[in-house]
Amino acid sequence: IVGVTGGKQCEIDVLVDATVAWRGRLDVLFNNAGETQAPASLLELEPAALRAEIDTLLTSVVLATRKAALAMRGHGGVILNCSSTAAHRAGSQSAVYSAAKAAVSHFTRCAALELAEQKIRVNAISPGAIVTPLFLKALAVPAGRESEALDLLREVFGKALPAGRAGEPADIAAAAAFL
């Protein structure tokens, strides 16, 4: 597991090239970019924060998909992009985060059409309210209160979701493994 942030092509190249050198080929890429850095308010948004957010959430996905597709050419593979329910409805996240995730969803559809002839399947999953420490960061939960806050999130999300329980990282892992 290697993290690539900010859409840096050299990091993406190293990651894919090292995988191919180690395993002989690349069969699966899971693009999972999810940290938000831009302020929630458009009125407080600075151009540098916008670029950083787009680089993390979209540019890294596009560049990693390109590099992986080049490595998969000839034998096929699977590229899975992590979008968000924020891509499909306004108001649950910042405008920048939502727009970037909407772009990931649309990019996934476009890449799926383009790469199908190479036998490369491209899909996206769009998680919603998943109980993770990322929510704690967004809510500025004080140190030492993380466990209590996660339990509260599970309760609140569970009441709001049709399944009657909060989503957990294992749910996303199961969907990713299936795809």
Q: Is position 97 annotated as part of the catalytic site? A: yes
Taking the C-alpha atoms of residue 67 and residue 162, their distance in angstroms, rounded to an integer, is 38
- In three state form, how does the secondary structure of 116-163 look? HHHCEEEEEECCCCECCHHHHHHCCCCCCCHHHHHHHHHHHHHHHCCC
Which is the catalytic residue, given 58, 63, 64, 97?
97
Q: Select from 128, 136, 134 the least CA-distant residue to 157.
A: 128
From residue 33, give the alpha-carbon distance in Å to each of 7, 64, 80, 105, 151: 10, 11, 11, 13, 25
Catalytic machinery residues: 97
